Every structure is written in C-alpha cells, then in structure tokens.
Amino acid sequence: MGCGGSAPAEAVSAPASNGAGNAIKAGSAYESRNIDQEMERAKAEEEGKIKMLLLGAGESGKSTIFKQMRLLYGTERSDDDLRMYGVVARSNIVVAVRKLCSHLRNLGLEEELDRESRENEELEEGDHSSMTCRQAYDELMAYLVDNTATASAQDPMADMGGKKDWVGQSPRAGLAANNDAKQFLAHHESIRILWQSNTMKQVWAKRSAVNIIDSHKDYLNDISRIASPDYRPTTQDVLIARVRTTQVVMEKYRIDNIDFEMYDVGGQRSERRKWIDCFDQVTAVIFVAALSEYDQTLAEAKRTNRMVEALELFRSVCNNRAFSNTSIMLFLNKKDIFAEKILYSDIAAQRPFCDYAGPTKDFDHGILYFIQKFKDCLIDDDFNDSFIHVTCATDTNNMEFVLDSTRTIIMTDVRHACLYFLNFFATETTILISEFKKVWLPWC
C-alpha cells in the first residue's frame, strides 16, 4: 500500500493469526477448515472496514483534520510527540519572521519602522524593555535573513535562568527545524518587540504575497510562553503546527464497532504521484480546499492561484474512475481566515474570480460563490449540498460535528450500497445511492 508513517492512534488488532505455537499439520482437514474460516473472517473484516482518504492541495488543512481525528477518536500524544511539536512551533515562528522581515523591506517600510521607533522613544511609549522595534528588526535581519551578523548570538540557555528547557531538541523534527528552534530561543525578545510594532501590522495585512501561514499569528501573539523553559505545547499549538506531509500516512480507529482507516497525503504537486498508491477500495474521499486562499499563489508555483489549483484538482478527483463508487465530501476549510480576509481582500479583484458579482465583504455570498465554482467542476450533477461542509480545521468543536456527520453519511451510504446490491440480485428496484444522497440536510 505504500504507507509510511505515524504510529496508529489506536492499536487495532490485526486479524488473529494462527499463533506461533500452533503449528499447522499438513493434511489435517480440521486445521485447513480453520484456515479457511480465518481467511473468510479476515476478508469480511477487510470488507467491513471504512477507508477514508484526505485529498487536496498543499496547506489546505488535510493533516490538521487528520490530527483532529486522533484528538477525537484516538489516544493522547506522548511527551516525545509534544517535544517534536514544540520544536516545530518554534521553527514555524522563525520561518514566519523571516518572511515578514523580508516583506517589510520589500514593501519599503524600513523608514516607517525608523519613524515608529523615534516616536516611541520621544513619547516614551512602546516596549522599552531592551530595544526599539528598528533595533529588533536589524537584529532579526542580520541573524535570520541576511546572515550578516558577525557576533555570535546570545546563548539561548542564558535566558532560561539555568532551568532545563522542557522541549529541548527533537531528532524527529529534523535538523532544519531544530536549528530554527535554537534561533528562536536566541532572538525571541526581538521577535516579540518587532511583532508588536504598528509597522509589522501593515506587513501582516499584506502577507498574502509571501504565503505566511495565517494561524501562526497565534504563535506570534504568545512568544514569551513559547520561549519559556516550561513550554509544553497545548492541543491548539499542536493543531496549528505546520509540517509539510511528504509521505502517505495512515491511522486506524475503531468507532462504534466499525474499523476506520484514514489516509493523509501530501498535497503539493511533487507529492501527488504518491496518491495513486492508496486509491484502491476507497469508501470515501474528503476533499479539502482552503476558502481563504483565493488571493494566494502556490508555494511550489508562484504564478498559480491556489483556489484555481484546488478547483482543478477537485475536478480531476471527482471525475477519476477510481472513485466512481466512492462518496466524495468537500470540506471548504479555513472559514475563520476567510471571514477575516473577506473584509479587506475583494474576491472580484482576483483575476480568476473577476466574475464575482456579489457584495464585497460578504461572507455568505463569498462562500456560495465558491461552492458554485466547485459544483461547476462536476460532469454530472450528482453532488448534494449535504456533502459540502464549511469548516475550520483548527476548531475541535466544529470538527467534531463535521467529522461525526461525515461518518454517519459514509456509514449510511455503505449500508445503502449493500442494500442496493442485495435488492439488485433479487431483481427489485431500490433507492439508488445518488437518490439517497438527496435526502440529507443541507450543509451547515
């Protein structure tokens, strides 16, 4: 199957084997019947299992939904896991700061930063703990962006008052992330000061051009906590941590006596050739697209609009023969960021969406417009609104509701598929799955 990866969230026992001590006697009819029965049972188990695939472009939120599944139905994370996410969180901050500082310079806002620093000093406002926002910026540019610093950075441990850092280093996070996490500890005070400046607020408002992960604002608002030696990532920190998926990962769950296999794949273009490895016997596909990315371009192809890419990908998934008998759910994700972004970034101002005729700054009209765009990708009209959810993958309450109703739809769909085939053989007409879909309530 080509699945790499993570430890299963819940240990689901493999079909019982004959056991090491039970050597099978050749020619024994009894043993042979046992094996047959065992194989039948394993086959029935395999057939009863629900296989769900998360598909979508990079950064749409697939792995975040995968994490929510574990949170809702799986086991708790180990300390080792949390340490890895601690390193990832710190390195995510450094990645964001590099982009923000470079963007500040490209936007020609350095003078603005100078002026803000002078004004703060004159008015005795701002954060006077150690440096001005301009000094903080210069330090970050020298150490994190341009690498022009000659003096070595302050020892990160000196700041911790001799206390051991709980997160420390995590080999699982990789070398680059560990190095960035170290940089974070050395420069967290400058990051905090620069982040609080008004100039940085202007840069943040123009972040679409440099693909910054919006949810990392929560990290930036909480620098001191994350820099503390006692820092232990919270559930929310884990949810917003960004690690690009580079292999197919599968986790198993047993929910209400039904076995689920959930697959997460990498969504960036270079990762998609691996998808085919898990296209066999899929019960349901959850296609994830980020609503908020209508004004952004791909990380891997700077000229391609992310929403256009998601629509094309959705079209090819829906019309793929491998999924002709598969339920496809559409999760229009990142509704929280969409709600915020719609207030200052006009949909119609984006070239691919210049046909948007609804009012500006209008969440509902914006969402209905994009739903229609996704529906337009389908060859036939066999896609009911109940299969579309507008989601916020970082919100556990929202995901609990969405994943629960998705599970119900899939399970009912499976039952009806069985019913259909039973009745087909009895030459009776029964409800078609496509018809059945139509009775579900609209999306929420």
Closest CA to 414 of 74, 49, 29, 33: 49
Q: Which two tokens stand for residue 191?
A: 């990051």
Stretch that binds ligand GTP, among 126-134, 213-221, 362-370, 406-414 (CB under 6 A): 213-221
Does residue 406 bind Mg ion (CB under 5 A)?
A: no
| 3-class DSSP assignment, residue 333 | strand
The residue within the footprint of ligand GTP, chosen from 333, 384, 386, 406 (CB under 6 A), is 333
The residue within the footprint of ligand GTP, chosen from 9, 50, 53, 56 (CB under 6 A), is 56
**Active-site residue, 268 included:** yes
Say which residues have a Cβ less than 8 Å from residue 384's Cβ, sequence separation at least 6.
Answer: 437, 438, 440
**Active-site residue, 59 included:** yes
The residue within the footprint of ligand GTP, chosen from 167, 181, 220, 393 (CB under 6 A), is 393
**Active-site residue, 68 included:** no
Q: Alpha helix locations (H) across 197-252?
A: 198-205, 217-220, 223-227, 235-240
Please tell me the distance from the alpha carbon of residue 407 to that of residue 409, in angstroms, as a whole number.
5
Q: Which does 268 bind (CB under 5 to 8 A by kind): ligand GTP, Mg ion, none?
A: ligand GTP
Please tell me the distance from the alpha carbon of residue 226 to that of residue 52, in angstroms, as a whole number.
35
How near is the Cβ of 312 to ligand GTP at its closest, in Å? 16
Closest CA to 132 of 119, 143, 145, 151: 119
Does residue 245 bind Mg ion (CB under 5 A)?
A: yes
Scanning residues 223 to 262, which ones bind ligand GTP (CB under 6 A)? Answer: 239-240, 242, 244-245
Does residue 64 bind ligand GTP (CB under 6 A)?
A: yes
| 3-class DSSP assignment, residue 82 | helix
Q: Which does 394 bind (CB under 5 to 8 A by kind): Mg ion, ligand GTP, none?
A: ligand GTP
Q: Which does 98 bind (CB under 5 to 8 A by kind): ligand GTP, Mg ion, none?
A: none
> Smaller CB distance to ligand GTP: residue 85 or 436?
85
Closest CA to 116 of 199, 202, 204, 196: 199
How near is the Cβ of 58 to Mg ion at its closest, in Å? 8
Q: Which does 402 bind (CB under 5 to 8 A by kind): Mg ion, ligand GTP, none?
A: none
Scanning residues 313 to 372, which ones bind Mg ion (CB under 5 A)? Answer: none
How near is the Cβ of 156 to ligand GTP at its closest, in Å? 24
Stretch that binds ligand GTP, among 131-139, 167-175, 219-227, 264-272 (CB under 6 A): 264-272
Report CA 442 to chain centroid distance, whole Å.
25
| Residues 264/248, Cβ–Cβ less than 8 Å | yes
Check whether 334 is labelled as a binding-site residue: yes
How near is the Cβ of 382 to ligand GTP at its closest, in Å? 26
| Among 138, 264, 295, 309, the one annotated catalytic | 264
* Number of chain positions touching ligand GTP (CB under 6 A): 26
CA distances from 213 to 163, 293, 306, 334, 356 (A): 31, 11, 14, 11, 25
Scanning residues 268 to 297, which ones bind ligand GTP (CB under 6 A)? Answer: 268
CA angle 435, 440, 444 (to 5 degrees): 140
> Smaller CB distance to ligand GTP: residue 131 or 209?
209
**Active-site residue, 64 included:** yes
Encode burial over 177-210: b for 16+ CB neighbours within 10 A, e otherwise: bbebbbbbbbbbbbbbbbbbbebbeebbebbbeb
Please tell me the distance from the alpha carbon of residue 210 to that of residue 401, in angstroms, as a whole number.
33
Residues contributing to the site for ligand GTP (CB under 6 A):
56, 58-64, 213-215, 239-240, 242, 244-245, 266-268, 333-334, 336-337, 392-394
Catalytic site positions: 59, 64, 242, 264, 268
